[in-house]
A and B are shown apart, each in its own frame.
Chain A
Amino acid sequence: MVEIDKTFKEKLIDFTFYCRERQFILGPQDTREAFEIASRGYGLDRKVFQYSLKAIFCRRKEHFDRFDEMFDRFWSRYYEENLEERKKVIKQLRKESETDTLIFMGAKFNKPRKEKEEQEARQTRGANESLRLRFTDFSKVDVVDRERLEELAEELFHQMSMRFKRRLESANRGTIDVRKTIRHSLSTGGLMLDLAHKKKKKEKRKVVFLLDVSGSMDTYSYYLLRYVMVLRKYFKTLEFFTFSTHLTHVTPMLRAHNEQEVLRQVGRNVQSWSSGTKIGECLVEFLNTYGNKFLSQKHIVVILSDGLETGNVTQLKEAVGTIRRKCKTLIWLNPLKGMKDYQPIQKGIVNVMPHLDAFESAHNLDSLLKLEKLLMNV
């Protein structure tokens, strides 16, 4: 056993808190184990200590991928960098964010940011950092918060996928299977000790997502895309399309195991990213090409769009009407609905409203998480 000095103990506890802030689920037991390995002298070799903590603190691949960078950042933060330099970096980052260049899907989007918007984002109600970010509009997140929001989104989406799974698992076991019960009783000399049940076959819900990736949806598309990727883990039969001026079938690209690889592929293959919006035309194309295959009374269709149509509104109205007739439920998610004083008075939205089963906002993490209930109850 090696005696651990007080400073090291404090640093180790600090590191545990640092990990917790970054959505690592660590309890006192984990801290105790970290101390145990330190007291065994594993802390004497930096790499051994790093790998040991990695094995103890990580719970999933997402943690595993981030840990090394976090470890380096934390220890260099305390040992190598001085605080003034860090302040300078943050100041620089903030300055850059004023004329923020968002590099996403291989393309650069220049988004001049207003002081006022960031101020608004920072003042969003909430008792702590996580809560504040959860309620912050995606379009108003500054460059400093973006990383935290990414981590928070990853964790919350993961928890959501767990909830989806758990609730369905607790389905009833069905009526008693007499034939099977009698057969089982043979091993107990005819005594019916265990009752066999007819397990009802669970019907998996089928979902079709249509995501608007036009210029007006730029700031939201990324998070909505990630949201859909999480839902894919639950909905085995999930079909995913993106549209703006053209419709793209994205489902085959979701095959890659790595999330970043999926994003890269989508970026490479979706040609009309960040262009104009012709919702009606794209929905007609969807109906003609994929309608027979992906629309039935078992399907839930979710359209994620701001509804700012630049094409033919009548065509849009008819297409949405047809989709509604052919599917079980039609949900429209509009990020603009989360804005204060928003009224659905745009021509496109006014025309499609009568056909929708639900019209919800999708502008921040909280609104996306609320959709869980909607999808569960369909």
Chain B
Amino acid sequence: MKKDIDALVKKFYEHGYILDDALATSVFLLKNLGKPLLLEGDPGVGKTSLAGTLAASLNTQMIRLQCYEGLDVGTTIYEWNYQKQLLHIKLFEQEKDKKTLGEEIFGMEYLLERPLLRAIKSEVPVVLLIDEIDRADEEFEAYLLELLSDFQISIPELGTIRAKTKPLVILTSNRTRELSDALRRRCLYHWIDFPTKTREIDIIARKLPEIDEVLAAQVVTFIHNLRKSSLHKPPGIAETLDWAKTLLVLNAGNITDELVQNTIGCVLKHKDDVDFVRNRTVEEFLMPVS
């Protein structure tokens, strides 16, 4: 068992994603139990990229559904192609009776498939990413329950469509609102925390092999100290990588006050946070993290 999980970690590493043991076990269960995986964590800790890496490691397609307020069945599951239906009625209203016409216009060819239906109907298992589910309304969350527990979708006019192959479903949430217990019950759960200092240095080294070790360590120490400060938005791994890339482009050997003043915008996105850092010296943020 441990061997399989280690193999998964290795495969993810090859695709540029460093998994810890707990997360690797969750991904392993997602593949083997066939239960959706709900990932929660601060923005920028690698929830979305995990799905992409999983799809890449399995050499399959990733279908992504980005959630937002007001998302409905029409944009996520299916919609009837009204224009095509009307055209069909106009063309055949003289030749066919009403009953036959009615039956014909509610066939699969008049259905516009949206991401969830596409994932269900796929011949090969795909990775279905339902991103930022907390941004969608609760009504949509309720509709998802059927998909997540039985991997089927009910269309009133056509009946129930069952999945040909079970998609690997990953849901992500930033906790901007609390998700229902019904949804949580249907999923495996994993909270992705900010990585430890060593792991974050590994991530930088993996993504930016040309970076100097000392600089990478400085960047990570700086970021970890920032996370310990009370900021509006603590920087995630994505911000760490952005900053490391910027410093690399600028050929920086060490982090200096001037560099911080000029490039801190890559890391912090709130004025108060930027001011907080600009009013302090670099040394304060390069103190060893306890």
Contacts and interface: CB of A to CB of B under 8 A. Distances in A.
Interface of A: 25, 27, 29, 33, 36-37, 40-42, 44-45, 47-48, 51-52, 54-56, 58-61, 63-65, 158, 161-162, 165-166, 169, 187-189, 233, 252-253, 255-257, 261, 265
Contacts of A189: 82, 86
A255 B273 CA distance: 12
A44 B83 CA distance: 59
Contact of A255 (B5, B138, B230): B230
B288 to A, nearest CB: 20
A256 B231 CA distance: 7
A61 B82 contact: no
Interface string B111-145: 00000000000000000000000000110000000
B185 A25 contact: yes
Contacts of B234: 257
Contacts of B5: 48
Contacts, number: 83
Contacts of B82: 187-189
B2 A48 contact: yes
B158 interface: no
A37 B138 CA distance: 31
Nearest to B4: A48
A33 B22 CA distance: 18
Interface string B1-37: 1100100000000000000011001100100110101
Nearest to A233: B178
Interface residues on B, range: 20 to 34
A58 B1 contact: no
A253 B1 CA distance: 45
Interface in B148-206: 175, 177-178, 180-181, 184-185, 188-191
7 contacts: A45-B1, A48-B2, A51-B22, A54-B25, A61-B191, A169-B138, A189-B82
B181 A59 contact: yes
B181 A25 contact: yes
Interface in B23-71: 25-26, 29, 32-33, 35, 37, 40, 42
B230 A37 contact: no
B254 to A, nearest CB: 30
Contacts of B178: 158, 161-162, 165, 233
B232 interface: yes
B25 A60 contact: no
B29 A55 contact: yes
